[in-house]
């Protein structure tokens, strides 16, 4: 084990080349609904318990099931209303369990990226071969059900190994959502040498972090989303930024939380220089137009003090 994951270089948030998003937009805005399946009785990973109590964990399991039965459709209506295509962080077994949800998303040309097979099957303890198999299974499942391989990966339940990002790059992926080190896309070093990037997927904007971990009030969640947007929009003038709202249908789509979320979406999409887009579109655009520039800028910054 090393003291640094060795995935990216230091790159100061000043004197960076400007990213200009399509149509001159200052900010790329994307919403990433996690559409997840948690198992009621999964094999227990020795490194992390799936549920805090003995089988059956009625509370934890059933509120997550609420997301699929009730919440999904609610958030979808809201995203439709504001012209937002979701980028789904998908527990790919859900293609088997709830194909109706997959069809509704596919009809809307939403993006599917992989979030592992189940959110109760962690990366911890897997051998590299096992992790490769799990990732490949998830990639193949998405391709089989929607006809297109996923471009991005968010490891299941944010559980990682030292090989996670390398393995996903080797499976043909181009971006990761697992790194929270920046407000812009950045190059990520992977062992196969492919052009691979990180796209900001904010933990701070994540509804589950806000509601379950930080236990904040719904209207405050709406306010911090707007504040986050305001600053990134302003800085987008100088740098070109990315804002992501990661959501969970069992949190944000509860009846008492919809209003605050809707107000935030209305606010953001009411601005003129916002590119409302998906993770894959951000990745493709960045790799095509700004990736090489970023590498030179990182090198330049390092050399400027040499």
Partner 1 sequence: MSLDKKFLEYPMRRYGMDHERYSWSMLSQRPKIEWPNGKKLALWVNVCLQFFPINQQGKPFKVPGGMTMPHPDLRHYTLRDYGNRVGVYRFLKAFDKYGIRPTFAMNTRLAERNPYLLHALKERGDEIACHGLHMDALHYGGQPIEDERQQIDHALTRLRELSGQDVTGWLSPARSESANTPDLLAEHGIEYFSDWVNDDMPYAFKTNSGEITAMPLSNELEDKFILMDNKHSEQSYVEQICDAHDFLLGEAEQQGGRILALNIHPWMLGQPHRISKLEQVLEYITAGEKVWSAGAANIRNAFLSQTKDA
For partner 1, the binding residues (CB under 8 A) are 37, 39-41, 43, 45-46, 53-59, 61-66, 68-70, 72-74, 93, 96-101, 117-118, 121, 125-127, 129-130, 133-134, 137, 215, 217-219, 254-260
- Residue closer to partner 1 by CB (options 64, 85) is 64
- Residue closer to partner 1 by CB (options 72, 280) is 72
Q: How far apart are CA 88 and CA 15, in angstroms?
A: 33
Of 123, 88, 36, nearest in space to 201 by CA: 88
- Residue closer to partner 1 by CB (options 17, 59) is 59
Q: How far apart are CA 101 and CA 94, in angstroms?
A: 8
- Residue closer to partner 1 by CB (options 91, 198) is 91
DSSP assignment string, 259-289: HHHHHHHHHHHTSSSEEE--HHHHHHHHHHH
56: preceding bond cis by omega (within 30 degrees): yes
- Residue closer to partner 1 by CB (options 70, 287) is 70
Least distance to partner 1, CB of residue 263, Å: 11
Least distance to partner 1, CB of residue 65, Å: 4
| CA-based R_g, the chain, Å | 19
Least distance to partner 1, CB of residue 269, Å: 20
Least distance to partner 1, CB of residue 125, Å: 5
- Residue closer to partner 1 by CB (options 140, 284) is 140
Q: How far apart are CA 151 and CA 25, in angstroms?
A: 23
Of 70, 15, 130, nearest in space to 252 by CA: 70
Least distance to partner 1, CB of residue 199, Å: 28
Stretch (H or E) spanning 27: strand 27-35
Least distance to partner 1, CB of residue 257, Å: 8
What the block records as the tokens of 111 is: 């993006």
């Amino acid at each position: 084990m090393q003291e640094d994951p060795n995935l990216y270089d230091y790159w100061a948030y000043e004197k960076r080349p400007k990213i200009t998003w399509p149509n001159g937009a200052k900010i790329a805005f994307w919403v990433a609904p996690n559409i997840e399946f948690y198992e009621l009785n999964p094999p227990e990973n020795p490194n992390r318990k799936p549920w805090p109590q003995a089988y059956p964990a009625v509370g934890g399991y059933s509120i997550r099931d609420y997301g699929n039965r009730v919440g999904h459709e609610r958030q979808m209506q809201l995203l439709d209303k504001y012209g937002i295509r979701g980028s789904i962080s998908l527990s790919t077994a859900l293609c088997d369990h709830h194909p109706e949800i997959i069809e509704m998303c596919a009809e809307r040309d939403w993006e599917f990226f992989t979030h592992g097979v189940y959110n109760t099957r962690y990366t911890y303890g897997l051998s590299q071969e096992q992790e490769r198999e799990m990732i490949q299974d998830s990639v193949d499942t998405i391709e089989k059900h929607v006809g297109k391989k996923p471009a991005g990966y968010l490891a299941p339940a944010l559980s990682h190994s030292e090989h996670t990002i390398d393995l996903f790059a080797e499976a043909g992926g181009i971006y990761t959502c697992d790194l929270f080190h920046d407000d812009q896309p950045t190059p990520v070093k992977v062992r196969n040498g492919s052009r691979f990037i990180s796209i900001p997927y904010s933990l701070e904007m994540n509804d589950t972090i806000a509601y379950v971990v930080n236990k904040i009030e719904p209207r405050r969640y709406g306010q911090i989303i707007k504040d986050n947007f305001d600053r990134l929009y302003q800085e987008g003038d100088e740098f070109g930024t990315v804002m992501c709202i990661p959501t969970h249908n069992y949190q944000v789509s509860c009846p008492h939380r919809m209003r605050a979320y809707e107000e935030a979406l209305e606010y953001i999409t009411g601005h003129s220089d916002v590119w409302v887009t998906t993770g894959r579109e951000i990745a493709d655009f960045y790799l095509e137009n700004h990736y090489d520039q970023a590498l030179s800028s990182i090198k330049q910054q390092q050399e400027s003090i040499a």
